[in-house]
Chain A
């Protein structure tokens, strides 16, 4: 079969296939049916015709829905297909889910902005970005089924209804399962475009809002789920890179001949910042990596000491020279001049590392003629759905196929393509042979791309009634939006607000880290509020209630969290509660934690965490809870333990022995989430828990001890210093 259905009779088509893909058309192109038997042909048709294929329907009734997003634990393999199934009125027990091809013109979402369709699983944007797309496509699939049955039975389409995978003609008491429609499936000349008001209202959802088991979990408990690191192709060889301890340092290899002579070594491949080795087995590649003798040059980061940076950053904050203004509402200067009282505090945060459990890896095969390539990778995708590989090889995008695999954690790290392009470079030296690149954990830590270190200077003013009249926030650090996100206070009614970024660059690799700038910025903002409340003898809840007077949705999360945490009831001796509010990825949330403190060791223990979130329509309630639990636990981890330090440009940590993350003995007794009922467009929840934690813990600490914690992480040593100060 070498042409789409247009050029064939339907009979020929049906003979060749027991299942069909419904190609639901982009405007101007007729919808078509294409056999799913020939996967390659299907892919080619998709590429060539620029149609949208969201679903396959088999005669046995099985429905395969394509998921356009990455699956990194956030549940996209369930939450997006369920939106489609809801409108298609599919029988969920017959639904299977597969990754869609990585073709953004077809499967992209415009939820990232006005600049066209993008496939990108980052910023907690996928449910937001695909909520309408998946439902509209599902409604079109249902329409095709109704249309086909109406023709077959010669009845008006308006007399047909659907229910759980069955088309029903009530008048004549007839019904037919979706699978049985396949032999006479017919595509209308014109497929209606559905608008929101023609789709189901949230009140009539049958699947959305219910707890369905996640589709990919069974294979994640029997060891069969495939991550890119698990793949093996015939003749596959292995690649590793030795990168410098100082980011960006250039290598000179001293023993290339010796390495090339080692058993199993196939290639030595120079990079700007590394030396690559390709070998026949992983063990041999790793052994060769250890034997590399490399002289490292100087880099921008050489001489940089992270823990000494704060002094320089303070001086930058002191200067009168402004940076980039991020917010300017009213006039903070005049508010400060006329204030009854002003407050100033500096907050700091060290670098943190992603620590996704699957170390970075990829597999790339560059074909023998070097004109096309196959890529297997766990990626959060990107603005370029081909991950930069075509440009890297100098070949057209349609000659590169990305085979997306499960991600063993993303957290922002896998929205970078450095590891994909490294593997592509190695594979380009081995045309015709698949090359699998592995980063060791040590590579992953030392050549990480961290959440930036920052210093934040906050100033606030109050009037004689204690009302906050001005709020100013200067963040000093590297990374643009990496340090700017979350700096605005759109839900607090403060007449005069100012925020500014002062850039300073150290040559350290940086990247989005779960919730990005919201972590450090909300820490500073929410702690500042509690420090003001503490100073003025006001309940932090009461202070926020006043600030939220014009934001009822924010206030509702606050009141819910107050009720959940029994805020007004005193904690038992030695414990205290603290709270924080934030918006992230469009969702609003208030968190409350209860902590205790070992004053001898400086160790903080989080006992409970309650949080209330308004994220619009909740597609998968239990999965939202899972995301909030995970986000909060990752928050506790980063706030209490995690710290990358740099000495003379070199990252000092290398593995989980010296980069500690939360372990099971330190989990809270409970983490409780409640969701505010809403029929608003869904918003992101993957990153809404994490940035609540730093401020909630610090605010509980302030209540418990009367002392502020202003430097992340709150290691026992730092806590003891604060207690003794």
Chain B
């Protein structure tokens, strides 16, 4: 079984898994980084959104083999030490989550948006967030949280 070195949340992890193992299962089942969720397995729901070198990606359709070159992987656990990233704070202020299952993915997608575009307008937010499903119907508050955060833009990491 091959060993892979992955740079996750600024830490190098060595993992022994079969070639082709889903990055989502590596994060969740091997490293217990369970903030990244399984929702569909086919990049349709966004619950597993992580950052790869700062860009939002769906971990469920990535395999472990593609990340041995030191790409920086960031998960919700690596977003801030104390859960106080400006986007997380805005999420609390807006009381956005309901069941909460999709929210890690929503937040990771929103952080990527604000890094790219610190002052997005409503349509830009809706368009950028369109791949992240929320069944509880918290979209109104996700929108509000992003608007709150964009008034207090996070520093680009």
Binding site for B on A (CB under 8 A): 72-75, 213-214, 216-227, 229-230, 232, 281-283, 355-359, 406-411, 438, 440-442, 622-623, 626, 629-634, 637, 655-657, 661-665, 667, 671
How far apart are the CA atoms of A223 and B45 in the complex, in Å? 17
Number of interface residues of B (CB under 8 A): 59
Q: Within 8 Å of chain A (Cβ to Cβ): is B103?
A: yes
Among B41, B42, B136, B138, the most chain A Cβ lie within 10 Å of the Cβ of B136
Contact between B101 and A358 (Cβ–Cβ < 8 Å)?
yes
Asked if residues B143 and A217 are in contact (CB atoms below 8 Å), the reply is: no
Question: Could you tell me if A282 and B135 are in contact, using CB atoms closer than 8 angstroms?
Answer: no
Residue of A whose beta carbon sits closest to that of B77: A223
Bound CA–CA A656/B46 (angstroms) = 11
A355 contacts B132, CB within 8 Å?
no
The minimal Cβ–Cβ distance linking A610 to chain B, given in whole angstroms, is 13
Which residues of chain B are within 8 angstroms of A442 by Cβ–Cβ distance? 41
Contact of B57 with A by CB under 8 A: no
Show 21 residue pairs from A and B whose CB-CB distance is below 8 angstroms, ordered by the A residue: A73-B97, A217-B95, A217-B96, A222-B35, A222-B77, A222-B83, A223-B33, A223-B36, A229-B38, A283-B17, A355-B135, A358-B39, A358-B99, A406-B100, A411-B135, A626-B138, A626-B141, A633-B140, A656-B40, A664-B130, A665-B126
Least CB separation from B17: chain A residue: A283
Minimum distance in angstroms from B49 CB to a CB of chain A: 12
- B95 near A657 with CB under 8 A, answer no
Tell me the minimal C-beta distance from A22 to chain B in angstroms.
30
B88 at the interface (CB under 8 A from A): yes
The answer on a CB contact under 8 Å between A662 and B139 is yes
Within 8 A of A (CB), among B76-107: 76-77, 79-80, 83, 88, 91-92, 95-104, 107
Residue of chain B at shortest CB distance from A623: B95
Q: Which residues of A contact B80 (CB under 8 A)?
A: 222
Contact (Cβ within 8 A) B100 A220: yes
Q: Which residue of B lies closest to A631 (CB)?
A: B137
Q: CA A440 – CA B83 in complex, angstroms? A: 30
**How distant is B148 from chain A, measured CB to nearest CB, in Å?**
13
Please name all residues of chain A whose beta carbon is closer than 8 Å to the beta carbon of B130 when the two chains form the complex: 663-665
Decide: B37 and A626 in contact? CB cutoff 8 A: no
A359: chain B residues at CB < 8 Å are 38-39
Q: Are A626 and B95 in contact (CB under 8 A)?
A: yes
Chain A residues, CB < 8 A from B79: 222
| Contact of B37 (CB < 8 Å), options: A358, A410, A630 | A358
Q: Give chain B's interface residues, CB within 8 Å of chain A.
A: 17-18, 21-22, 25, 28-29, 32-42, 44-45, 47, 75-77, 79-80, 83, 88, 91-92, 95-104, 107, 125-127, 129-143
Chain A nearest CB, measured from B61 CB (Å): 12
Q: How far is the CB of B18 from chain A (nearest CB, A)?
A: 7
- With a cutoff of 8 Å between Cβ atoms, the chain B residues found around residue A671 in the complex are 140
- Contact assessment for A220 and B135 in the assembled complex, using a CB-CB cutoff below 8 Å: no
Residue of B nearest to A658 (CB): B44
Bound Cα distance from A661 to B25, whole angstroms: 25
Instruction: Tell me the smallest distance from the CB of B111 to a CB of chain A, in Å.
Output: 11
B2 to chain A, nearest CB (A): 14
In the complex, A589→B116 CA distance in Å? 42
Give the 6 A-B CB pairs with smallest separation, nearest first: A223-B35, A633-B137, A73-B98, A408-B101, A220-B100, A222-B83
Given contact pairs A225-B100, A229-B38, A671-B140, enumerate 10 new A-B contacts (beta carbons under 8 Å).
A223-B35, A224-B35, A224-B83, A410-B99, A622-B95, A623-B95, A630-B137, A633-B137, A656-B44, A664-B142
Among B101, B126, B129, B137, contact of A632 (Cβ-Cβ < 8 Å): B137
Residues of chain A contacted by B103 (CB below 8 angstroms) = 220-221
Neighbouring B residues of A631 by C-beta, 8 Å: 137
Judge whether A74 and B98 touch: CB under 8 Å: yes
* Contact (Cβ within 8 A) A662 B137: yes
**Known contacts A223-B104, A667-B143: does B132 contact A357 (CB below 8 Å)?**
no
Residues of A within 8 A of B139 (CB): 633, 662, 664, 667
- The residues of B that contact A219 with a CB separation of less than 8 Å are 83
> Which residues from chain B contact A283 at a C-beta distance below 8 Å?
17-18, 21-22, 25, 29
Q: How far is the CA of A407 from the CA of B34 in the complex (A)?
A: 15
Task: Return the chain A residue nearest B21 by Cβ.
Answer: A283
Indicate whether A218 sits within 8 Å of B133 (C-beta atoms), given known contacts A232-B29, A630-B138: no
A281 and B28 alpha carbons, distance in the complex (Å): 12
A357 partner, pick from B36, B102, B141, beta carbons under 8 A: B102
In whole angstroms, how far apart are the Cα atoms of A634 and B139 in the complex? Answer: 10
Given A355-B135, A356-B99, A663-B133, residue A223 in contact with residue B75 (CB < 8 A) = yes
Residue in chain A with minimal CB distance to B60: A441
CB-based contact B100/A656 at 8 Å: no
User: Which residues does chain B contribute within 8 Å of A282, judged by CB atoms?
Assistant: 25, 29
**CB nearest neighbor in B for A358:** B101
Given contacts A409-B135, A441-B39, A664-B130, contact A630 B95 (CB under 8 A): no
Instruction: Say whether A214 contacts B95, CB under 8 Å.
Output: yes
Determine if A227 and B101 form an interchain contact, defined as CB atoms under 8 angstroms apart: yes
CB-CB nearest in chain B for A355: B135
Closest residue of A by beta carbon distance from B142: A664
B73 CB, nearest partner CB in chain A, Å: 14
Flag if B126 contacts A441 (CB, 8 Å): no
CA distance A227 to B36 in the complex (A): 12
Chain A, residue nearest B98 (CB): A73
With the chains together, A72 CA to B98 CA distance in Å?
Answer: 7
Which residues of A lie under 8 Å from residue B92 when comparing CB positions?
A: 213, 217-218, 221
Asked whether, in the complex, the Cβ of A357 is within 8 Å of the Cβ of B34, the reply is no
- In the assembled complex, how far is the CB of residue A223 from the closest CB belonging to chain B, in whole angstroms? 2
> Which residues of chain B are near A630, meaning CB under 8 Å?
98, 136-138
> By the criterion CB–CB under 8 Å, are B38 and A409 in contact?
no
Q: How far is the CB of B57 from chain A (nearest CB, A)?
A: 16
Chain A residues with Cβ under 8 A from B126's Cβ?
A: 664-665, 667
Residue of B nearest to A75 (CB): B98
Chain A residues positioned under 8 Å from B107 (CB to CB): 221
What are the residues of chain A within 8 A of B29 when measuring CB–CB?
A: 232, 281-283
Per the bound structure, the CA–CA distance linking A22 and B42 in Å amounts to: 49
Nearest-Cβ distance from residue A408 to partner chain B, whole angstroms: 3
Closest-CB distance, B104 to chain A (whole angstroms):
5
- State whether A441 and B41 are in contact (beta carbons under 8 Å apart), knowing that A221-B103, A230-B28, A634-B137 are contacts in the complex: yes
> In the complex, A219→B133 CA distance in Å?
20
Asked if A409 contacts B41 (CB within 8 A), the reply is no
Q: Is the CB of B34 within 8 A of A661?
A: no
Q: How far is the CB of B153 from chain A (nearest CB, A)?
A: 18
State whether B100 touches A408 (Cβ < 8 A).
Answer: yes
Chain A residues near B18: list those with CB within 8 A.
283
